[in-house]
């Protein structure tokens, strides 16, 4: 397999994996391309490499920047916008963890806390409160673990993995 084939395989696989961590396929592919590129890329370069429209690139680059995993960089002597991604995989994982907590876990914790205020003593209400309380406890434990990971360094993470 040559470099171009390897890059294409990686970009497609990363794009498919993206949906597992809350982003769409094209967003994942753009991120993968930025991740393996040695230099910042312009919108035109991304369009050409991935065979996608300018609008698709712009929309997904903005979303990657919102996630905090891509950034705009200045290239001396160029008027075009260029983009790059953080290359530190541990930092990338922590940033994705922070965003997923903010987008997924924090909203459901808020809802679970709200529904615990149910003022009903029926059998169904008691079962509802029991289940949602268990979900709340589990979610809060998961949130604690994710928060520790998001604030961790490489040494802490690998020590925890080795303990498991």
| Single pTM value for the model | 0.79
DSSP code at position 39: S
Tell me which H or E stretch contains 97: helix 89-100
DSSP code at position 6: H
**Residue among 62, 4, 2, 53 nearest 33 (CA):** 4
Q: Residue 35: its pLDDT value, please?
A: 95
| Rounded Cα–Cα distance for residues 43 and 47 (Å) | 6
What is the block-wise mean pLDDT of the chain (164 residues), using blocks of 10 residues? 92 87 88 96 97 96 94 92 92 87 91 88 90 93 85 68 63
The residue written with tokens 């997924």 in the block is 104
Residue 122's region, left for phi above 0, alpha for psi from -120 to 50, else beta, is beta
Whether the CB-CB separation of 96 and 63 falls below 8 Å is answered with no
Residue 107 CA to chain centroid, in angstroms?
A: 16
Whether the CB-CB separation of 109 and 140 falls below 8 Å is answered with yes
Q: Residue 160: its pLDDT value, please?
A: 63
The answer for residues whose C-beta is within 8 angstroms of residue 77's C-beta and 6 or more apart is none
Q: Residue 164: its pLDDT value, please?
A: 59
Q: Residue 161: its pLDDT value, please?
A: 63
């Amino acid at each position: 397999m040559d470099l171009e084939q390897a890059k294409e395989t990686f970009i497609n696989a990363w794009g498919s994996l993206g949906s597992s961590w809350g982003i769409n396929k094209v967003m994942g592919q753009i991120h993968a391309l930025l991740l393996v590129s040695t230099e910042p890329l312009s919108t035109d370069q991304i369009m050409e490499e991935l065979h996608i429209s300018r609008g698709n690139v712009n929309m997904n680059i903005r979303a990657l920047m919102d996630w905090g995993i891509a950034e705009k960089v200045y290239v001396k002597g160029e008027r075009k916008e260029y983009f790059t991604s953080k290359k530190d995989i541990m930092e990338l994982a922590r940033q994705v963890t922070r965003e997923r907590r903010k987008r997924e876990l924090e909203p459901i914790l808020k809802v679970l806390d709200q529904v615990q205020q149910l003022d009903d003593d029926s059998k169904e209400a008691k079962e509802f409160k029991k289940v949602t309380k268990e979900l709340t406890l589990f979610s809060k434990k998961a949130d604690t673990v994710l928060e520790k990971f998001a604030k961790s360094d490489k040494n802490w993470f690998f020590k925890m993995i080795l303990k498991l």
